[in-house]
Structure 1
């Protein structure tokens, strides 16, 4: 199983394993350059002094012995050496017989700027020398350009560089080991809060109410995630509570018609003479009520699962409204209601089935709950659908519950036509079409139920 801490530890250790050696190499080469530059400056200064003391006398090079001692050059073991060569590479002047007998190879690129090299003498001594050209003081000008070699023992310098390399290697290895240990400790401590949060989430039980993460001990980087988890837990809790209420209410709504059917069946079984046409029609009416209720529950279930298909097409709003009003006209006339219809647009792009379900439930709700002898208004446009009716018994506090499933202002009304699902179906269908529902209680007690469409700019007018 992949671990974020393990991957991060590996990546950081790998980075440290690359950067520490690179940093060590950079330090080593910087120190090496500084040591060599200091050593070479000393050689350069000595060469300048020696050149100033070399002169030509009767066709031969000469140098004051006191000058050699002054610059620290002698014939003893471990001392500095010098040699002067002509253009052919022949030794003309040197600091001792051992130096004179050595096999020299003058660098081909030597010039006045000097060439610096490590080399070994015939006796095996490690030296670092400077080769440079110069023109000795010669009144006759017969000697021509010479080459001067000034060298100092390099064993100490090589040893210092070796020691520096060893120290850098050992310290780099120790530093890498310490860095790995520190990284592991820091990452373990830093991920402790995340691990605790993960353990807490794993221990949470589905359906158990009141589960929340404590955000106080979490670091700032995790508090946003923790707050989002708490928000999701609240939504799950609300959703589960809604589902429990839904199941309870659905069972309650189905229990009544089933009890009626059972009672009628037992009556007919006990007294066969009660098997009349009227009794059969009563049973069929109960069955139809159950079918309507099951159709509503099925539509809500499909909407919740995202399984309800949406087919957008051009719909004639006038025909749809008129056919819906005709469906409720008999009940409206029975209750002496005045049906008012107003169109701003007669066509729009929508799903005819879902729009029809919205319109049918809004009009049916208004016709069922409007006071006797009042009016029901219907306003239709491509931007919104508004159905209004007087609602003297409704209060502002009831508006937030209107679109809840199985909610009824008057719980005593339990007939099949008032299951409390109509407005929840309106909300579900509106959301499938990209709309949103609003309920407004105006002054005077008039209730306006509105569905606003987000795609109102795609309307079609005629």
Structure 2
């Protein structure tokens, strides 16, 4: 392939000789990458020192960052350096970042607007619960309370998704009952469990855990939702919670060997997963993000058409 062919791609493609530009396609020249120029005289970004060290030490480099070009432009770019080939590839992700910001603002606004009437509804339903003694009405009130709590958890999930995208979630440590977390997860997934006739086998030998309860809830919910989603009808999902780990194991479709390296990628869904169930491809990437944030290690074992076992090590 002739180098000129690279003039027709959207990415800036630069061949380097150490920190000097050896060749550059048209997109790269638009950014100021002219031949024989030093890249440190063309652009800068927060991680520029790490980038230069990677070049000097012949190591690959991969990051997303806001890049400032000295002739006046600034862009949010994907920066990839391949040391073996001495190739630098820059991809403009400014528009995607702006869309993320718009989405985050929308979710924040939506959450704020809904939480106010939700708080009023919850307050009134709890007052009614205190005054009404009739058993049948008590049952109805209980269902309303469960539904309102579910709406609140959905809002929390949306907020967490938004914060996870920007890496801005702050851990909130407390002491909580893992059994209550499990009950909330099963309540949220009740329809899915019923529709597929899934049996949930829950094992726990602890009365309390220390940590961020919402992080634990989100990890358990996403792993359990996936287990149910990719399980066969009338099968069993096993959940274990103790002080050392959380385990979610199913006997579902499993993961093919050639897809195992990619399951934590955002939006990635395996070929068979797409055929078997709908999904966004965000669930496991959120789990991975939260595990890294909380200092947990996540591991999995899977065999195609046998099942999958996820283990989150809490200590």
Corresponding residue for 1:18? none
What are the equivalent positions in structure 2 for 1:60-459 lying under 5 Å apart? Answer: 199-203=38-42, 226-227=56-57, 230-233=59-62, 237=79, 247=96, 299-392=160-253, 394-409=255-270, 410-411=273-274, 415=278, 418-442=279-303, 445-453=306-314, 456=315
Alpha-carbon offset, residue 391 of structure 1: 3.0
Structure ranking higher in strand proportion: 2
1-structure distance, mates of 2:255, 2:190: 24
Corresponding residue for 2:8? none
Distance 1:232 1:202, change over 3 A: farther
2-structure distance, mates of 1:448, 1:405: 20
Which deviates more, 388-397 or 368-377?
Answer: 388-397
Q: Is the 8 A contact 1:343 1:380 kept in 2?
A: yes
> 3-state SS of the aligned residue for 1:379?
strand
- The gaps in structure 1 that reach 5 residues or longer are 1-192, 207-211, 214-222, 255-291, 457-462
Distance 1:321 1:396, change over 3 A: same
Report Cα offsets for 1:359-403 as digits up to 9, x if no partner.
111111111111111111101112111111123352122222221
Distance 1:407 1:332, change over 3 A: same
1-structure distance, mates of 2:54, 2:80: 21
Distance 1:413 1:440, change over 3 A: closer
Corresponding residue for 1:145? none
> 3-state SS of the aligned residue for 1:367?
helix
1-structure distance, mates of 2:309, 2:157: 23
Alpha-carbon offset, residue 420 of structure 1: 1.4
Report Cα offsets for 1:162-199 as digits up to 9, x if no partner.
xxxxxxxxxxxxxxxxxxxxxxxxxxxxxxx9997993
RMSD: 4.3
Q: Is the 8 A contact 2:229 2:277 kept in 1?
A: no
Report Cα offsets for 1:269-318 as digits up to 9, x if no partner.
xxxxxxxxxxxxxxxxxxxxxxx7x9767534423544212111111111
Alpha-carbon offset, residue 243 of structure 1: 9.5
2-structure distance, mates of 1:301, 1:338: 32
1-structure distance, mates of 2:60, 2:292: 22
Corresponding residue for 2:114? none
- The gaps in structure 2 that reach 5 residues or longer are 1-16, 22-36, 46-50, 65-77, 82-88, 104-153
Alpha-carbon offset, residue 323 of structure 1: 2.3
Larger Rg: 1
Distance 1:364 1:444, change over 3 A: closer
> 3-state SS of the aligned residue for 2:249?
strand
Distance 1:412 1:201, change over 3 A: farther
Corresponding residue for 1:25? none
2-structure distance, mates of 1:357, 1:447: 19
Q: Count matched residues.
A: 206
TM-score of the superposition, structure 2-length normalised?
0.53
2-structure distance, mates of 1:398, 1:331: 25
Distance 1:444 1:335, change over 3 A: closer
Alpha-carbon offset, residue 346 of structure 1: 3.0
> 3-state SS of the aligned residue for 2:281?
coil
